[in-house]
């Protein structure tokens, strides 16, 4: 693929009364001059509806428009450059095996993480999960938390213990429920 000439940062104003042609111009421009990793680009448009319309057009693969993403809450992807141009795509495991590449612009409610809490990982499953324990006891480190962390691993689990005995202490600690629900159910108000 031929590299486009380098563009200096600046402001560009494009005006027209044919929305589809403006959209096509914006899509072509951004494909021709893709952003580098961690670069940011801002497009100002008249309304949220036009912004969403443009976002969908930018996210669509040139030859394979897809109606839905087929992702569920808790799915985890990795953002990587897709090709020599450096344009970023998010790689998700495909249900049939292999990798599914999705434009970051198509992903609405995402959280960027390098590592995540056990609580955030609930509902997800990973081929390999690692639990990093602290070097001292903390109140939230309980048997239930360790169990939840271990069960996130589909094939392999790694435990990194900050100090000897932390895992044993955690497994011996149970969650203390303090909601008062049991008492309220046993003694309903009159």
177 vs 144: which has the higher pLDDT:
144
Q: What angle do CA 163, 164, 165 make, to 5 degrees?
A: 115
Least confident of 120-124, 133-137, 153-157: 120-124
Say yes or no to pLDDT of 152 above 80: yes
DSSP helix/strand/coil, 131: strand
pLDDT score for 66: 43
Mean pLDDT of 58-82: 67
Which tokens is 45 given? 């448009």
2 vs 47: which has the higher pLDDT:
47
pTM above 0.75, yes or no: no
pLDDT score for 37: 63
pLDDT band for position 83 (50/70/90)?
Answer: confident
DSSP helix/strand/coil, 158: strand
Residues in Cβ contact with 166 at an 8 Å cutoff, skipping those fewer than 6 apart: 133, 134, 135, 136, 137, 141
pLDDT band for position 64 (50/70/90)?
Answer: very low
Decide if 4 contacts 34 (C-beta within 8 A): no
Mean pLDDT of 131-155: 90
Decide if 89 contacts 80 (C-beta within 8 A): yes
pLDDT digits (tens, 9 = 90+) for 158-177: 998 888 999 999 999 888 77
pLDDT score for 165: 92
């Amino acid at each position: 693929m031929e590299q486009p000439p380098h563009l200096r940062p600046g402001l560009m104003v494009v005006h027209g009364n044919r929305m589809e042609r403006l959209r096509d111009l914006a899509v072509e421009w951004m494909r021709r001059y893709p952003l580098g990793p961690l670069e940011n680009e801002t497009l100002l448009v008249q309304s949220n509806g036009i912004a969403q319309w443009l976002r969908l057009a930018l996210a669509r693969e040139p030859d394979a428009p897809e109606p839905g993403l087929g992702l569920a809450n808790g799915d985890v992807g990795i953002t990587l450059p897709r090709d020599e141009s450096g344009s970023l795509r998010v790689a998700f495991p495909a249900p049939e095996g292999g990798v599914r590449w999705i434009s970051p612009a198509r992903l609405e409610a995402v959280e960027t993480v390098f590592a995540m809490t056990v609580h955030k990982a609930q509902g997800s499953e990973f081929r390999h999960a690692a639990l990093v324990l602290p070097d001292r006891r903390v109140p939230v480190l309980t048997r239930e938390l360790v169990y939840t962390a271990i069960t996130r691993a589909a094939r392999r689990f790694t435990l990194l213990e900050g100090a000897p005995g932390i895992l044993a202490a955690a497994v011996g600690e149970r969650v203390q429920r303090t909601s008062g629900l049991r008492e309220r159910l046993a003694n309903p108000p009159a």
